[in-house]
Structures are given as structure tokens and as C-alpha cells.
Amino acid sequence: EPEVTQTPSHQVTQMGQEVILRCVPISNHLYFYWYRQILGQKVEFLVSFYNNEISEKSEIFDDQFSVERPDGSNFTLKIRSTKLEDSAMYFCASTAYNTGELFFGEGSRLTVL
């Protein structure tokens, strides 16, 4: 069964460092998303991406964040200068159409020290 894969599963970084989280969405999907879950809090929408551009973003998704689909298969989330409060589980998701079922990856846990 096709699945969304995310790497790394866990990354530890120092505050101020750049981090790139990678996702490989399901191959025929066209809509891509990042969510995050800070420990003990709700899963929150960060950004949606379609047709090689951001279609919507939340207030959380400030200038420190960026997304890219560099090669037609990967979908990346970059945090330019990490803060302690960026520590969270980050989930990638994809779907074939904008009213379809979202398929989530297993998540990448980011720990900022």
C-alpha cells in the first residue's frame, strides 16, 4: 500500500541551526501539507502546497519556515533558524485532490536544544 514517508524520524539540533525535514508523498498526489504537534498540544496545520506554490499557511508559518518540492518527489520543510519552541513532531501529509483523504507520514520529531 502506498504511504507517505518522512525523514529523519528524529533530529536533535542546536538553537539557531537550520533544519530540513523531508517527506516523500504518495506518487500520484498533488496536494501536500505540513502539520506539527508540540508535546501535549493539538496537531496544528502549518502549510498547504499545490502546483508548486503555497496555497495556504497558518500564523505559525512565519518567515523562518519555507517549503519546497525540489525534484517532483520530495517535499521539504525548512526551518531557517530553529528556536526552542520549534521542538515538536512534524507530520507531512498528501492527497490526490483537495477534498480527498489525507494520508499522513509517521512524523519527524525535532528537538531543539
Partner 1 sequence: AQSVTQPDIHITVSEGASLELRCNYSYGATPYLFWYVQSPGQGLQLLLKYFSGDTLVQGIKGFEAEFKRSQSSFNLRKPSVHWSDAAEYFCAVANSGNTGKLIFGQGTTLQVKP
Q: 48 or 82: whose CB is closer to partner 1?
A: 48
Verify binding: residue 90, partner 1, rule CB under 8 A. Answer: no
Q: Classify strands 53-57 and 43-50 as parallel, antiparallel or unpaired.
A: antiparallel
Residue 4 is a binding residue for partner 1 (CB under 8 A): yes
The Cα 30–Cα 25 span in angstroms is: 9
Of the residues 7, 22, 45, 60, which one makes contact with partner 1 according to CB under 8 A: 45
Q: How far is CA 46 from CA 1, 13, 28, 42, 51, in A?
A: 26, 20, 22, 12, 17
Residue of the chain from 19, 33, 79, 90 that contacts partner 1 (CB under 8 A)? 33
Check residue 18 for interaction with partner 1 (CB under 8 A).
Answer: no
